[in-house]
Structure 1
Amino acid sequence: MLQQIRVSAIAPALKLLPAKMSGRRAEQMLLSIGLQASRLIHRRQIGGPARGLWQFEMGGGVRGVLEHPTTQALALFVCQPRGVPATDAAVYAALEHDDVLAAAFAPLMLWTDPAPLPAVGGIQQAWDLYLRTWRPDKPHRQTWDDLYAQAMGEVA
């Protein structure tokens, strides 16, 4: 499953973004957060409003990426080839069905944080970055280490 997500969603998404947003650190974070947020299975949050494999909320992550000075132009650039108007509502609706768009918005969300991406293996630093950028309502720290290890096994 992780390899399939890397090939079908993450790789094409990272090709839409500057090279500095790619690499093992980015893939580690994307797989870890995707596993944590949706197990990379649920495109619609169970009992909640989030959409896409990386679980973006319209007024939270979607708006944040579209409006943040660091990511705004890139978000517009990513939306165009996906055929999605760069509006909160249009992106939010598309995330549920467009894994490439979701996989492109995930590293953009990470880039709204001024800290560099953690080194692969930096479990606590990765958790801290996830908390700062995704701001989950009910974070589940007890599942992070195992999910991070699964992602690290795929990235290695």
Structure 2
Amino acid sequence: MADADYNAIRTGIIQPALTLLPEKMRSPQAEVMLLAIGGQESRLHYRHQIGGPAHGLWQFEQGGGVKGVLEHKATRAMAAEVCAARQVPPTIPAVYAAIEFDDVLACCFARLLLWTDPGRLPNRTEESLGWTVYQRNWRPGQPHPQTWPTYWGKAVGSVYGEQA
């Protein structure tokens, strides 16, 4: 499979998604994290987890990320607004079904999940902090730290026009 076009994902999915969220959630650091996590989770290609239940480019499970974003006090109102904008009922089953095919909705939920984290987003030179933030929030069942540097580098290259 060919590599995902990170610039196309950024301009066609991430930037439109971020316009549905408050301006304070928009930053180059957020774009890097979204690209790197999407690469790590789905290679920014698979919308349904191979052999598993997760949906969307950011691979959310119904009872995990979807439920967490819809119910967290810091994100539930914003999640409801995003759902209204995407014409999806703000319920766990409806969002879970929709994020498999609605990449903008999936991206919004990924950004909202990052918003629930009390820590700051890493800057472009903080690859290891990016890995920590990713692990803390996505809690991958089978983490693959050996692939993170590649996805981080591609994300930094897309956002900043350079390598990490």
* Normalised-by-shorter TM-score class: over 0.9
Alignment pair present for 1:51 and 2:86: no
Tell me which residue corresponds to 2:41: 37
| Cα distance, 1:18 vs structure 2 | 0.8
Tell me which residue corresponds to 1:102: 106
Percent identity over the alignment is 56
User: Which is richer in helix?
Assistant: 1
| Cα distance, 1:23 vs structure 2 | 1.2
| Cα distance, 1:6 vs structure 2 | 1.0
Alignment TM-score, normalising by the size of structure 2: 0.94
Question: The residue matched to 2:109 in structure 1 has which SS?
Answer: helix
| Cα distance, 1:115 vs structure 2 | 0.5
| Cα distance, 1:147 vs structure 2 | 1.1
Question: The residue matched to 1:117 in structure 2 has which SS?
Answer: coil
Of 114-123 and 80-89, the range deviating more from structure 2: 114-123
Structure 1 runs (4+) deviating above 2 angstroms are none
Q: Deviations over 1:86-136 (max 9, x none)?
A: 000000000011000011111100011100111122111110000111111
Tell me which residue corresponds to 1:19: 23
Tell me which residue corresponds to 2:14: 10
| Cα distance, 1:40 vs structure 2 | 0.2
Tell me which residue corresponds to 2:85: 81
The letter of the residue matching 1:57 is: E
Alignment TM-score, normalising by the size of structure 1: 0.98
RMSD (Å) for aligned C-alpha atoms: 0.6
1-side partners of 2:11 and 2:43: how far apart?
A: 17
2-side partners of 1:26 and 1:98: how far apart?
A: 19
2-side partners of 1:120 and 1:69: how far apart?
A: 29
Alignment pair present for 1:150 and 2:154: yes
What are the ranges of 5 or more consecutive residues in structure 2 without an aligned counterpart? Answer: none
2-side partners of 1:7 and 1:142: how far apart?
A: 27
2:68 pairs with one of 39, 64, 69: 64
| Cα distance, 1:48 vs structure 2 | 0.5
Q: Deviations over 1:5-45 (max 9, x none)?
A: 11111111000101111110000000000000000000000
Equivalenced residue count is 156
2-side partners of 1:124 and 1:142: how far apart?
A: 12
What are the ranges of 5 or more consecutive residues in structure 1 without an aligned counterpart? Answer: none
